[in-house]
Copies of this chain bind each other. A is one copy, B any other.
Amino acid sequence: MGYYIKKEDVEDLVVGAAILGTGGGGDPYVGKLMVLQSLERGEKIELLDIESIEDNSFVVPVAAMGTPVVLIEKVPSGKEALYSLNLIEEFYKKKVDYISPIEAGGINSTIPLVVGAKRKIPVIDADGMGRAFPELQMVTFHIHGVSATPMAISDERGNASILSTIDNYWAEKIARAITVKFGGSAWIAIYATYGSLYKKACVKGSISLAIEIGKTIRTARQSGKNIIDALLDVTKGYYLFSGKIVDVSRFNIGGFARGEAKIEGLDDYKGSTLIIRFQNENLVAIRDNEVIATVPDLITIFDKETVKPITTERLRYGLRVIVIGIPCNEKWRNEKGLEVVGPKYFGYNVEYIPLEKRIRNFN
Protein backbone atom coordinates (compact mmCIF):
# COMPACT_ATOMS: atom_id res chain seq x y z
CA MET A 1 0.00 0.00 0.00
CA GLY A 2 1.26 3.42 -0.90
CA TYR A 3 0.90 6.90 0.46
CA TYR A 4 -2.44 8.73 0.21
CA ILE A 5 -2.11 12.30 -1.01
CA LYS A 6 -3.40 14.92 1.47
CA LYS A 7 -4.69 18.39 0.80
CA GLU A 8 -1.49 20.11 1.99
CA ASP A 9 0.56 17.82 -0.24
CA VAL A 10 -1.34 19.21 -3.21
CA GLU A 11 -0.42 22.78 -2.26
CA ASP A 12 3.23 21.75 -1.91
CA LEU A 13 3.18 19.62 -5.06
CA VAL A 14 2.06 22.39 -7.37
CA VAL A 15 4.72 24.75 -6.02
CA GLY A 16 7.41 22.09 -6.54
CA ALA A 17 5.98 21.15 -9.94
CA ALA A 18 6.05 24.78 -11.06
CA ILE A 19 9.76 24.91 -10.17
CA LEU A 20 10.55 21.58 -11.88
CA GLY A 21 8.35 22.79 -14.74
CA THR A 22 11.13 25.26 -15.53
CA GLY A 23 8.70 27.78 -16.99
CA GLY A 24 6.58 25.25 -18.88
CA GLY A 25 4.08 22.50 -18.28
CA GLY A 26 1.09 24.79 -17.93
CA ASP A 27 -0.36 26.77 -15.09
CA PRO A 28 -0.01 24.74 -11.85
CA TYR A 29 -3.07 26.43 -10.30
CA VAL A 30 -5.38 24.85 -12.87
CA GLY A 31 -3.98 21.45 -11.90
CA LYS A 32 -4.23 22.23 -8.17
CA LEU A 33 -7.91 23.09 -8.52
CA MET A 34 -8.56 19.81 -10.30
CA VAL A 35 -6.85 17.68 -7.62
CA LEU A 36 -8.47 19.55 -4.73
CA GLN A 37 -11.89 19.01 -6.30
CA SER A 38 -11.10 15.28 -6.47
CA LEU A 39 -10.18 15.16 -2.76
CA GLU A 40 -13.28 17.18 -1.82
CA ARG A 41 -15.43 14.63 -3.64
CA GLY A 42 -13.89 12.04 -1.31
CA GLU A 43 -11.81 10.38 -4.01
CA LYS A 44 -8.52 8.82 -2.87
CA ILE A 45 -5.16 9.29 -4.57
CA GLU A 46 -2.65 6.56 -3.87
CA LEU A 47 1.00 7.34 -4.60
CA LEU A 48 3.20 4.27 -5.05
CA ASP A 49 6.95 3.87 -4.84
CA ILE A 50 8.37 2.19 -7.97
CA GLU A 51 9.62 -0.69 -5.82
CA SER A 52 5.96 -1.73 -5.33
CA ILE A 53 5.36 -2.16 -9.08
CA GLU A 54 5.12 -5.74 -10.35
CA ASP A 55 7.25 -6.53 -13.41
CA ASN A 56 4.28 -7.73 -15.46
CA SER A 57 1.95 -4.87 -14.48
CA PHE A 58 0.51 -2.57 -17.17
CA VAL A 59 1.69 1.02 -16.67
CA VAL A 60 0.25 3.91 -18.67
CA PRO A 61 1.43 7.53 -18.44
CA VAL A 62 -1.28 10.15 -19.00
CA ALA A 63 -0.87 13.85 -19.74
CA ALA A 64 -2.27 17.01 -21.23
CA MET A 65 -0.63 18.08 -24.47
CA GLY A 66 -0.54 21.52 -26.05
CA THR A 67 0.20 25.16 -25.58
CA PRO A 68 -0.05 26.04 -21.87
CA VAL A 69 -1.66 29.40 -22.71
CA VAL A 70 -4.64 27.56 -24.17
CA LEU A 71 -5.04 25.45 -21.01
CA ILE A 72 -5.47 28.62 -18.96
CA GLU A 73 -8.32 29.66 -21.23
CA LYS A 74 -10.03 26.25 -21.37
CA VAL A 75 -9.91 25.02 -17.76
CA PRO A 76 -10.47 21.25 -17.92
CA SER A 77 -13.19 19.54 -15.90
CA GLY A 78 -11.08 16.49 -15.14
CA LYS A 79 -13.18 14.04 -17.15
CA GLU A 80 -11.33 14.79 -20.39
CA ALA A 81 -8.19 13.00 -19.27
CA LEU A 82 -10.06 9.74 -18.64
CA TYR A 83 -11.14 9.22 -22.22
CA SER A 84 -7.66 8.54 -23.62
CA LEU A 85 -6.88 6.12 -20.78
CA ASN A 86 -10.11 4.26 -21.47
CA LEU A 87 -9.24 4.06 -25.17
CA ILE A 88 -5.87 2.51 -24.34
CA GLU A 89 -7.60 -0.11 -22.20
CA GLU A 90 -10.05 -0.88 -25.01
CA PHE A 91 -7.28 -1.05 -27.56
CA TYR A 92 -4.98 -3.29 -25.49
CA LYS A 93 -7.96 -5.20 -24.05
CA LYS A 94 -6.26 -4.92 -20.69
CA LYS A 95 -6.90 -3.03 -17.45
CA VAL A 96 -4.36 -0.39 -16.52
CA ASP A 97 -2.63 -1.30 -13.24
CA TYR A 98 -0.72 1.91 -12.64
CA ILE A 99 -0.82 5.44 -13.95
CA SER A 100 2.35 7.48 -14.35
CA PRO A 101 3.05 11.15 -14.95
CA ILE A 102 4.98 11.80 -18.13
CA GLU A 103 6.58 14.93 -16.70
CA ALA A 104 7.18 16.30 -13.21
CA GLY A 105 6.43 19.89 -14.15
CA GLY A 106 3.34 22.07 -14.20
CA ILE A 107 -0.13 20.72 -14.83
CA ASN A 108 1.12 17.30 -15.94
CA SER A 109 2.26 16.45 -12.42
CA THR A 110 -1.36 16.76 -11.27
CA ILE A 111 -3.34 15.36 -14.24
CA PRO A 112 -2.32 11.75 -13.42
CA LEU A 113 -3.50 12.25 -9.83
CA VAL A 114 -6.93 13.36 -11.05
CA VAL A 115 -7.17 10.41 -13.42
CA GLY A 116 -5.96 8.01 -10.71
CA ALA A 117 -8.53 9.37 -8.27
CA LYS A 118 -11.42 9.02 -10.70
CA ARG A 119 -10.44 5.58 -11.92
CA LYS A 120 -9.18 4.31 -8.50
CA ILE A 121 -5.80 3.42 -10.01
CA PRO A 122 -2.59 4.07 -8.03
CA VAL A 123 -0.18 6.68 -9.40
CA ILE A 124 3.54 5.87 -9.52
CA ASP A 125 5.91 8.29 -7.78
CA ALA A 126 8.09 8.77 -10.88
CA ASP A 127 7.92 10.34 -14.33
CA GLY A 128 9.70 10.39 -17.68
CA MET A 129 11.55 13.69 -17.42
CA GLY A 130 12.28 14.79 -13.84
CA ARG A 131 11.18 18.20 -15.13
CA ALA A 132 9.03 19.45 -18.05
CA PHE A 133 9.93 19.29 -21.75
CA PRO A 134 7.99 20.44 -24.81
CA GLU A 135 7.96 17.31 -27.04
CA LEU A 136 6.66 13.77 -26.65
CA GLN A 137 9.91 11.95 -27.43
CA MET A 138 11.74 13.95 -24.73
CA VAL A 139 11.29 11.30 -22.06
CA THR A 140 13.58 8.79 -20.45
CA PHE A 141 11.03 6.18 -21.66
CA HIS A 142 12.06 7.05 -25.22
CA ILE A 143 15.79 6.74 -24.59
CA HIS A 144 15.14 3.35 -22.93
CA GLY A 145 13.36 2.05 -26.02
CA VAL A 146 9.71 2.30 -24.91
CA SER A 147 7.39 3.02 -27.87
CA ALA A 148 5.15 6.08 -27.55
CA THR A 149 2.50 4.27 -29.58
CA PRO A 150 -0.08 2.77 -29.68
CA MET A 151 -1.14 5.98 -27.97
CA ALA A 152 -4.53 7.63 -27.50
CA ILE A 153 -5.24 11.32 -28.04
CA SER A 154 -8.61 12.96 -27.39
CA ASP A 155 -10.28 16.31 -26.87
CA GLU A 156 -12.98 17.64 -24.57
CA ARG A 157 -15.62 17.32 -27.30
CA GLY A 158 -15.25 13.55 -27.68
CA ASN A 159 -12.95 13.42 -30.71
CA ALA A 160 -10.25 10.79 -30.36
CA SER A 161 -7.58 8.87 -32.16
CA ILE A 162 -5.37 5.85 -31.61
CA LEU A 163 -1.99 6.47 -33.22
CA SER A 164 0.55 3.90 -34.26
CA THR A 165 3.74 5.36 -35.69
CA ILE A 166 7.07 4.03 -36.94
CA ASP A 167 8.98 5.95 -34.26
CA ASN A 168 8.42 8.34 -31.37
CA TYR A 169 9.29 11.42 -33.43
CA TRP A 170 6.41 10.58 -35.77
CA ALA A 171 4.15 10.22 -32.74
CA GLU A 172 5.11 13.76 -31.69
CA LYS A 173 4.59 15.10 -35.22
CA ILE A 174 1.14 13.58 -35.77
CA ALA A 175 -0.14 14.13 -32.22
CA ARG A 176 1.00 17.77 -32.41
CA ALA A 177 -0.93 18.33 -35.65
CA ILE A 178 -4.04 16.80 -34.08
CA THR A 179 -3.60 18.93 -30.93
CA VAL A 180 -3.50 22.08 -33.06
CA LYS A 181 -6.75 21.03 -34.81
CA PHE A 182 -8.35 20.25 -31.43
CA GLY A 183 -7.88 23.94 -30.62
CA GLY A 184 -4.48 23.83 -28.92
CA SER A 185 -4.89 21.25 -26.18
CA ALA A 186 -5.41 17.49 -26.08
CA TRP A 187 -5.38 14.59 -23.63
CA ILE A 188 -3.03 11.70 -24.17
CA ALA A 189 -2.27 8.21 -22.83
CA ILE A 190 1.16 7.27 -24.15
CA TYR A 191 4.27 5.09 -23.59
CA ALA A 192 2.12 2.25 -22.26
CA THR A 193 4.50 -0.47 -21.08
CA TYR A 194 5.23 -3.21 -18.55
CA GLY A 195 6.39 -2.64 -14.98
CA SER A 196 9.81 -4.18 -15.61
CA LEU A 197 10.72 -1.82 -18.45
CA TYR A 198 9.01 1.13 -16.80
CA LYS A 199 11.15 0.74 -13.68
CA LYS A 200 14.36 0.86 -15.73
CA ALA A 201 13.20 3.77 -17.86
CA CYS A 202 11.60 6.20 -15.40
CA VAL A 203 12.93 9.06 -13.27
CA LYS A 204 12.25 7.86 -9.72
CA GLY A 205 10.57 9.80 -6.95
CA SER A 206 9.71 12.90 -8.93
CA ILE A 207 6.28 13.49 -7.40
CA SER A 208 7.59 13.22 -3.84
CA LEU A 209 10.53 15.46 -4.82
CA ALA A 210 8.07 18.10 -6.06
CA ILE A 211 6.13 17.81 -2.79
CA GLU A 212 9.36 18.09 -0.78
CA ILE A 213 10.42 21.20 -2.69
CA GLY A 214 7.02 22.78 -2.07
CA LYS A 215 7.15 21.86 1.61
CA THR A 216 10.65 23.28 2.01
CA ILE A 217 9.51 26.58 0.53
CA ARG A 218 6.36 26.65 2.68
CA THR A 219 8.32 25.92 5.86
CA ALA A 220 10.94 28.56 5.04
CA ARG A 221 8.20 31.08 4.32
CA GLN A 222 6.40 30.31 7.59
CA SER A 223 9.56 30.50 9.69
CA GLY A 224 10.85 33.65 8.00
CA LYS A 225 13.90 31.93 6.51
CA ASN A 226 15.37 32.86 3.11
CA ILE A 227 13.17 30.94 0.67
CA ILE A 228 15.62 30.87 -2.24
CA ASP A 229 18.43 29.59 0.02
CA ALA A 230 16.21 26.79 1.29
CA LEU A 231 15.21 25.95 -2.27
CA LEU A 232 18.79 25.84 -3.56
CA ASP A 233 19.57 23.58 -0.64
CA VAL A 234 16.89 20.99 -1.37
CA THR A 235 17.37 21.04 -5.17
CA LYS A 236 21.18 21.40 -5.14
CA GLY A 237 20.56 24.41 -7.37
CA TYR A 238 22.44 27.65 -8.16
CA TYR A 239 21.50 31.30 -7.99
CA LEU A 240 21.92 32.59 -11.55
CA PHE A 241 20.62 36.14 -11.70
CA SER A 242 18.31 38.81 -10.33
CA GLY A 243 16.86 41.71 -12.27
CA LYS A 244 13.92 43.32 -14.05
CA ILE A 245 12.28 41.99 -17.22
CA VAL A 246 12.68 44.68 -19.89
CA ASP A 247 11.41 42.78 -22.92
CA VAL A 248 9.40 39.65 -23.73
CA SER A 249 8.81 38.52 -27.29
CA ARG A 250 6.72 35.48 -28.05
CA PHE A 251 5.12 33.69 -30.96
CA ASN A 252 2.86 30.67 -31.14
CA ILE A 253 4.04 28.27 -33.80
CA GLY A 254 3.09 24.66 -34.56
CA GLY A 255 1.44 24.22 -31.15
CA PHE A 256 4.37 25.60 -29.15
CA ALA A 257 4.77 28.85 -27.22
CA ARG A 258 8.21 30.10 -28.21
CA GLY A 259 9.92 33.31 -27.19
CA GLU A 260 12.60 35.19 -25.36
CA ALA A 261 12.80 37.31 -22.18
CA LYS A 262 15.42 39.98 -21.56
CA ILE A 263 16.29 40.76 -17.93
CA GLU A 264 18.34 43.75 -16.79
CA GLY A 265 20.42 43.05 -13.67
CA LEU A 266 19.72 44.59 -10.26
CA ASP A 267 21.67 44.51 -6.97
CA ASP A 268 24.74 42.27 -7.40
CA TYR A 269 23.92 41.89 -11.10
CA LYS A 270 23.64 45.61 -11.93
CA GLY A 271 25.10 46.29 -15.36
CA SER A 272 24.55 42.71 -16.52
CA THR A 273 21.86 41.39 -18.85
CA LEU A 274 20.35 37.92 -18.90
CA ILE A 275 18.53 36.53 -21.93
CA ILE A 276 16.27 33.50 -21.48
CA ARG A 277 15.03 31.63 -24.52
CA PHE A 278 12.05 29.33 -24.18
CA GLN A 279 9.86 26.85 -26.08
CA ASN A 280 7.09 26.16 -23.54
CA GLU A 281 10.02 25.66 -21.06
CA ASN A 282 13.06 27.86 -20.41
CA LEU A 283 15.84 26.38 -22.54
CA VAL A 284 18.93 28.58 -22.45
CA ALA A 285 20.18 31.36 -20.15
CA ILE A 286 22.76 33.75 -21.60
CA ARG A 287 24.46 36.25 -19.26
CA ASP A 288 26.27 39.11 -21.01
CA ASN A 289 26.61 37.03 -24.18
CA GLU A 290 27.91 34.00 -22.29
CA VAL A 291 25.80 30.86 -21.92
CA ILE A 292 25.46 30.04 -18.22
CA ALA A 293 22.83 27.28 -18.30
CA THR A 294 21.21 25.12 -20.96
CA VAL A 295 18.62 22.43 -21.33
CA PRO A 296 18.39 19.65 -20.03
CA ASP A 297 19.42 21.45 -16.80
CA LEU A 298 16.53 23.35 -15.26
CA ILE A 299 16.21 27.14 -15.46
CA THR A 300 13.45 28.57 -13.29
CA ILE A 301 12.33 32.18 -12.92
CA PHE A 302 10.79 33.48 -9.67
CA ASP A 303 8.79 36.60 -8.98
CA LYS A 304 11.19 38.44 -6.63
CA GLU A 305 8.42 39.92 -4.51
CA THR A 306 6.30 36.80 -3.93
CA VAL A 307 9.15 34.28 -4.46
CA LYS A 308 6.79 32.20 -6.61
CA PRO A 309 7.88 30.47 -9.85
CA ILE A 310 6.63 32.03 -13.07
CA THR A 311 5.60 30.06 -16.16
CA THR A 312 6.78 31.40 -19.52
CA GLU A 313 3.27 32.50 -20.49
CA ARG A 314 3.14 34.81 -17.44
CA LEU A 315 6.45 36.57 -18.08
CA ARG A 316 5.83 40.30 -18.58
CA TYR A 317 7.62 43.60 -18.84
CA GLY A 318 8.56 45.24 -15.53
CA LEU A 319 8.47 42.11 -13.38
CA ARG A 320 11.37 41.82 -10.94
CA VAL A 321 12.69 38.30 -10.96
CA ILE A 322 15.24 35.85 -9.57
CA VAL A 323 16.60 33.13 -11.87
CA ILE A 324 17.94 29.85 -10.55
CA GLY A 325 19.45 26.76 -12.18
CA ILE A 326 19.01 23.14 -11.06
CA PRO A 327 21.05 20.16 -12.33
CA CYS A 328 18.90 17.73 -14.35
CA ASN A 329 18.49 14.02 -13.70
CA GLU A 330 21.57 11.93 -14.52
CA LYS A 331 19.58 9.96 -17.13
CA TRP A 332 19.86 12.94 -19.48
CA ARG A 333 23.59 13.42 -19.07
CA ASN A 334 24.87 11.05 -21.71
CA GLU A 335 25.12 10.98 -25.49
CA LYS A 336 21.70 9.43 -26.08
CA GLY A 337 19.95 11.74 -23.63
CA LEU A 338 21.60 14.87 -25.02
CA GLU A 339 20.72 13.85 -28.57
CA VAL A 340 17.07 14.03 -27.53
CA VAL A 341 17.03 17.04 -25.19
CA GLY A 342 20.43 18.73 -25.51
CA PRO A 343 20.74 22.38 -26.60
CA LYS A 344 21.57 21.34 -30.18
CA TYR A 345 18.22 19.59 -30.63
CA PHE A 346 16.55 22.91 -29.83
CA GLY A 347 18.64 24.71 -32.42
CA TYR A 348 21.34 26.21 -30.18
CA ASN A 349 24.88 25.63 -31.36
CA VAL A 350 26.16 25.16 -27.83
CA GLU A 351 27.81 22.11 -26.24
CA TYR A 352 26.04 20.83 -23.18
CA ILE A 353 28.15 21.40 -20.09
CA PRO A 354 26.63 20.36 -16.76
CA LEU A 355 25.34 23.38 -14.87
CA GLU A 356 27.59 22.85 -11.84
CA LYS A 357 30.66 22.83 -14.12
CA ARG A 358 29.53 25.97 -16.01
CA ILE A 359 29.02 27.77 -12.72
CA ARG A 360 32.42 26.68 -11.44
CA ASN A 361 34.06 28.02 -14.60
CA PHE A 362 32.06 31.21 -14.53
CA ASN A 363 32.50 32.33 -10.93
Which A residues contact B (CB, under 8 angstroms)? 157-166, 170, 173-174, 177-178, 180-181
Contact = CB atoms under 8 A, between A and B. Distances in A.
B159 A161 contact: no
A161 B158 contact: no
Give the secondary structure class of A's interface.
mixed
Given A162-B162, A174-B181, 14 more contacts: A157-B166, A157-B170, A158-B166, A159-B165, A159-B170, A159-B174, A160-B163, A160-B164, A160-B165, A161-B161, A161-B164, A177-B178, A177-B180, A178-B178
A178 B160 CA distance: 13
Contacts of A159: 163-166, 170, 174
A136 to B, nearest CB: 14
A172 to B, nearest CB: 10
* This chain: copies in complex: 2
A181 B172 CA distance: 11
Contacts of A173: 181
Nearest to A181: B177
A159 B163 CA distance: 8
Contacts of A160: 163-165
Contact of A163 (B158, B161, B164, B165): B161
Shortest Cβ-Cβ A-B pairs, 9 listed: A177-B177, A162-B162, A177-B181, A159-B165, A158-B166, A161-B163, A160-B164, A161-B161, A159-B170
A181 B174 CA distance: 7
Contacts of A170: 157, 159
A82 to B, nearest CB: 15
Contacts of A180: 177
22 contacts: A157-B166, A157-B170, A159-B163, A159-B166, A159-B170, A159-B174, A160-B163, A160-B164, A160-B165, A161-B161, A161-B162, A161-B163, A161-B164, A161-B174, A162-B162, A173-B181, A174-B178, A174-B181, A177-B177, A177-B178, A177-B180, A178-B178
A166 B170 CA distance: 25
Contacts of A162: 161-162
A38 B322 CA distance: 68
A362 to B, nearest CB: 42
A256 to B, nearest CB: 15
Nearest to A176: B181
Nearest to A179: B177
Nearest to A87: B164
Nearest to A180: B177
A136 B157 CA distance: 20
A157 B166 CA distance: 7
Contacts of A157: 166, 170
A12 to B, nearest CB: 39
A161 B181 CA distance: 15
A65 to B, nearest CB: 14
A156 B80 CA distance: 32
Contacts of A164: 159-161
